[in-house]
Amino acid sequence: MPEIPEHLLKRSAERRKQLGLPTGEEGGEATEAAAPEAGAEAEAAAPAETPAAAASTSDAGGDAVTEDKGGVPAHLLERSRRRKAALTGDAGAPAAAAAGGTATATAVKAAPAPTMTGPGGHTQRLLTVVKSGSIQQTRAEAQDKVHTWPHLLVVEFAAILAMTAIVLIFSAIVRAPLLGLADVNQTPNPSKAPWYFLGLQELLTMFHPMVAGVTIPGMGLFLLIVAPYVDKNPSNKPEDRKFVISIFTIFLMFWSVLVIIGSFFRGPGFNFVFPWNDGIFFEL
């Protein structure tokens, strides 16, 4: 259990002093939830001996203070007084205050009733004080959200239909290539890798195979993987990320240009050709 903060203890002590109650450790203890049974016993025992007097004085004291503060409306006080009177016995509170002897009898008869109020006449008890920091705080602010069904699923469904249609129609029109049976002894000219590796094949014309085939693609992959750990800029706004965006665009352009050159501008012997002069040497 968290300790009661200093300022609350202080405030409680001041309040007790105002009420004319004993301040100090025992008072502080009584408010703690750690000793509820002891408190309850004391409450039960104390009013039983001098019930009417205690009830009436506490009533008067409590009312006086709250009225001084001006915090509680008069009609509520009146109601609470009536309720307390009803609890202490059938006799009314004013009558009990006036005639001590009869009040004692009635109060003793209704022995369990006074346990409803504490030694200070309080009808509630402080169980614990929760520090503000120990409460789980909601960090996320409300977001503008929509239901997945229908808003997202409809879009997905339309996209899937469109994609199916594109693939189906394209496949019905364009045949996938199937050249002659593989022959290890007959090298076609040019021999090209699949299109997504043609950038690498293009690099082969410029660098040593180890650099073109392993080092450069390896570096590219490595850079992609470490990108989020190197780019520490938390913003995702394009205007804040000009440098990173230009680097990545250069990266994309680099590969796209290489792939396009390798695909369309390379003819027999992987020599440079213009597709509009010499035709296209490219199979998907």
Phi then psi dihedrals of residue 263, to 5 deg: -75, -50
Question: How near is the Cβ of 261 to other proteins at its closest, in Å?
Answer: 16
Number of residues binding to other proteins, judged by CB under 8 A: 71
In angstroms and rounded to an integer, the radius of gyration of the C-alpha atoms of the chain is 44
Instruction: Answer yes or no whether residue 22 interacts with other proteins by CB under 8 A.
Output: no
Instruction: Answer yes or no whether residue 206 interacts with other proteins by CB under 8 A.
Output: no
- CA 239 remoteness from chain centre: 29
Task: Name the residue nearer to other proteins (CB basis): 195 or 265.
Answer: 195
For residue 230, give the amino acid letter. V
Instruction: Answer yes or no whether residue 170 interacts with other proteins by CB under 8 A.
Output: yes
Q: Using CA atoms, how far apart are residues 145 and 19, in angstroms rounded to an integer? A: 54
Question: How near is the Cβ of 78 to other proteins at its closest, in Å?
Answer: 47
- Left, alpha or beta for 176 (phi > 0: left; psi -120 to 50: alpha)? beta
Instruction: Answer yes or no whether residue 191 interacts with other proteins by CB under 8 A.
Output: yes
**266 beta partners:** 272
Question: How near is the Cβ of 133 to other proteins at its closest, in Å?
Answer: 24
Instruction: Answer yes or no whether residue 219 interacts with other proteins by CB under 8 A.
Output: no
Instruction: Answer yes or no whether residue 228 interacts with other proteins by CB under 8 A.
Output: yes
Q: Which of 132, 138, 183, 269 binds other proteins (CB under 8 A)?
A: 183
Task: Name the residue nearer to other proteins (CB basis): 69 or 145.
Answer: 145
Task: Name the residue nearer to other proteins (CB basis): 96 or 200.
Answer: 200
Task: Name the residue nearer to other proteins (CB basis): 18 or 246.
Answer: 246
Positive or negative torsion for Cα 29, 31, 37, 42: positive
| SS3 sequence of 50-111 | CHHHHHHHHHHHHHHHHHHHCCCCHHHHHHHHHHHHHHHCCCCHHHHHHCHHHHHHHHHHCC
For residue 167, give the amino acid letter. V
Q: Which of 1, 33, 99, 159 binds other proteins (CB under 8 A)?
A: 159
Which range touches other proteins (CB under 8 A), out of 19-27, 45-53, 89-97, 207-215? 207-215
Q: Using CA atoms, how far apart are residues 38 and 122, in angstroms rounded to an integer? A: 16
Letters for 107-146 (x = contact with other proteins by CB under 8 A, - = none) are ------------------------------------xxxx
Question: How near is the Cβ of 258 to other proteins at its closest, in Å?
Answer: 14
Q: Using CA atoms, how far apart are residues 45 and 31, in angstroms rounded to an integer? A: 18
Instruction: Answer yes or no whether residue 50 interacts with other proteins by CB under 8 A.
Output: no
Which range touches other proteins (CB under 8 A), out of 22-30, 92-100, 107-115, 186-194? 186-194
Residues counted in the chain? 284
Helix (H) / strand (E) element for 159: namely: helix 153-173
Q: Residue 123 is encoded by which pair of tokens? A: 């009808």
